[in-house]
Chains A and B, each alone.
Chain A
Amino acid sequence: MGIDSVYPREHPREERLLRLLEGCREAEVLTRRPKWGDESEVIMRRGADIGREFFCYSCLDRGMGQARKLIETGEEKGAAFIDGGVVIAREMEKSRGRFDRPWYAPSGGAWLTLVLNPAFLPENRQFYSLITGVACCETIRHYGIEANIKWVNDIHFHGQKLAGILIQGYTSRTLGEEYLLLGIGVNVNNTSFPEHLRPMAISLREIIGKEVPLEDFIALLLTKIGWNIGLMAHFEQRYLEAFYEPVKPANPLIEQWKLYSDTPGRRVLYGANVYDEPLFAATAVDIDHTGAIILQREEGITVREVSGEIIYLN
């Protein structure tokens, strides 16, 4: 059964996005070549599944919900969902973040859900969170904005949120396939926020003072996600090859995350659900090779947290 008969195309935007993505990938390889040489093509190819198919909608309740629906619909017809498929909505009405927090997603923003078959080794799957954060930050910086990453992957500009990321695992009910859903929301051209969010949120358009072509932005973002997934896969292979060597290769993703993050050195409030149940104040020292945050508490105790979230106190 052909893909089109399982997931019929509904929107001309999809073809345009596929073309844009192709151009972005070629440009990305050229940009990365000075550092990575010929390996840049190999790395980009490894992440080339990202954006294999687009599902565009004018309005959705939730992108994650639609992605699950598409997965189940396809599997009922006997087809596993396309690895790297992307659900895009012009606007979303009932969007939610972690802990069911409402996420405001009006027209003008980039609201997408990327569906992946998790391909990394189980111990490396937490890196999808860092990959998405680094890719978002790189994309925003492409427009000349000095955005930063707050651990794990919140993207902000001088404390105002530019992008939010929600990553959920999902096991399909029909075939029992394991998927990873990457929900990404970036305030691109949307300029109106509810009163209570106004001090905390900002968009690219507000910062640079002009509209950003949304489809170009999405194509670049997916290219950067593809690059960083490829980079992680490349590192995983090199790490396994050097498994019995005394010196292991450093994870370039961690290096890149540290380059963009303003978390190390900050006073933070930490909690599993920090807004509703903050647990303790500490100084963020660093992140380790697994991406876990190292926190120095006032009692002189150092703790390593693999999960949770932080708020900056200074």
Chain B
Amino acid sequence: MSELDLDQLLIHYREDPYEDFVVETPNTGWVRFMADDGMKVEGPRGTWQHIPGTLLYVLERERNRIPIHAHINGTISELQVDLNGQFVEANTHLMSIRHPMTKDEVINKILKQVLITFNAPERAKYFFPPEITYKLEKKKHGTVLVRPGEEILIMSLMKRDTPLIYNGEPGIIHTVYFQPNITLNQGEPLLGICPPGKLNYIRKIVQKIQNEWA
């Protein structure tokens, strides 16, 4: 793993502190927009993210109307107005959400280039097995070592619990991206694993961003 040009990355994020999230149709259907270009939208809120975000559009297929809400806060851009009222295929780009990044998000975005990320294999809830929970409680954050072949997480869907085995290179659990009570979508990051010998480097990155990001 080559070291990052941190100064360059920080300049880049200061100049453009946004992340663009593409909004695509999950399946075919008739589209009716409920948001305008340039409109500010909110993501899900509440303790368990149970209050849905701003309604973006309604997708209708065979009299089944699916309201699609914003999954993150930001401003609507690239709205494909010509698709309003049209029948579209799955994965059609309808709009983007330009999301202003917080300091923690910048840190996480940069760290994802350094850490080994362990992603959710299915839409489900995730929690640590008892041994890892015990280690995380007992040891300081950032010192729990995981090795290939170890049970690292439990994926829970409708009371079907599937142990997830870690198969990457040995490392330390540095960042926990999930909350046990929130359902995660497939592909969302669960854990950031720090490769051996890189912990000090990662701490340096975090410190530098903490100090220099206004």
User: Which residues of A does B touch, CB under 8 Å?
Assistant: 98-100, 122, 125-130, 152-153, 165-171, 173, 180, 246, 271-273, 277, 279-280, 291-292, 297, 301, 303, 305-309
Contacts and interface: CB of A to CB of B under 8 A. Distances in A.
B114 to A, nearest CB: 28
Nearest to A153: B159
Contacts of B162: 168-170
B159 A272 contact: no
A169 B149 contact: no
B102 interface: no
B161 A279 contact: no
Given A279-B181, A308-B125, A100 B130 contact: yes
Interface in B144-168: 149, 155-163, 165
Contacts of A297: 50
Contacts of B159: 98, 129, 152-153, 165, 167, 307, 309
A184 B47 CA distance: 34
A171 B162 CA distance: 9
A100 B134 CA distance: 13
Contacts of A291: 158
A168 B181 contact: no
B149 A173 contact: yes
7 contacts: A98-B159, A168-B162, A169-B155, A173-B149, A279-B47, A303-B50, A306-B183
A24 to B, nearest CB: 26
B51 A301 contact: yes
Contact of B50 (A127, A173, A301, A308): A301
Nearest to A127: B158
A246 B125 contact: no
A231 to B, nearest CB: 17
Contacts, number: 79
Interface in B51-95: 51, 62-63
Contacts of A130: 158
B161 A280 contact: no
Contact of A272 (B51, B158, B165, B181): B181
Contacts of A127: 158
Given A279-B181, A308-B125, A128 B62 contact: no
Given A280-B48, A307-B159, 8 more contacts: A98-B161, A122-B122, A165-B159, A167-B160, A246-B63, A272-B125, A272-B180, A303-B50
Given A169-B163, A272-B181, A306-B124, A129 B62 contact: no
Contacts of A173: 149
Nearest to A171: B165
Contact of A126 (B48, B149, B160, B180): B160
A98 B129 CA distance: 10
B123 interface: yes
Contacts of B157: 125-126, 306-307
Contacts of A171: 165
Contacts of B124: 306-307
Contacts of A152: 158-159
Closest 4 A/B residue pairs (Cβ): A169-B162, A126-B158, A307-B125, A167-B160
Contacts of B18: none
A168 B160 contact: yes
Contacts of A307: 124-125, 156-159, 183
B21 interface: no
B33 interface: no
A168 B48 contact: no
Contact of B62 (A126, A165, A246, A292): A246
Interface string B22-50: 00000000000000000000000011101
A129 B48 contact: no
Contacts of A180: 160
A71 B92 CA distance: 44
A176 B50 CA distance: 37
Instruction: Indicate the member of A99, A100, A173, A272 with the most B CB atoms within 10 Å.
Output: A272
